[in-house]
Amino acid sequence: MPLVRIDLLKGKDSAYRTAIGDVVYDAMRATLDVPENDRFQIIAERDAPDFIVDRTYLGITRSDDCVVIQVTLNEGRDAPKKRAFYKAVADGLHERLKLRREDVFISLVEVKKENWSFGNGEAQYAPT
C-alpha cells in the first residue's frame, strides 16, 4: 500500500494534477509490483514561500515546475526496481505533460508492513 504525496507550486489546473497522479500510479504498477486499486494519493499545491526546492543541488537545474513526489511503501524492493520507478515517472511526466525530467524529485520512504492501518483500527498486514 503505497501512500503518495505530491507537492507542486500553485497554478496548475486539476487536469495537470490528475495526470501527475496517473503517471505515478501507472509507474508503481509497472515497476514496483503495486496491485490494482491500491491507490492512495494526496496532491497539494503550495505557495512559493512554502515550497522550497534548491535550484541547483547536485548540478541539476530545477525550475518553478518542479514536482516533489514522496512515496511511503513497504520495504523490500531492490535498487533496480527503484531505479525503474524513478525513470518511469520522469519519462511519463515528460511524455504526458512535457515536464522536464530535471523537475521530477522523488523520495521513497520504506516502512515495515505492521506500520499500516487501512481502517477499523487494525494493522491488517501485521503478523499475528
Active site residues: 2
**Strand-strand pairing, 67-74 and 104-111:** parallel
DSSP for 14-75?
HHHHHHHHHHHHHHHHHHS-PPTT---EEEEEE-GGG----SSGGG----TT-EEEEEEEES
What whole-number distance in Å separates Cα of residue 108 and Cα of residue 82?
Answer: 8
Residue whose entry in the numeric block shows the C-alpha cell 509507474: 27
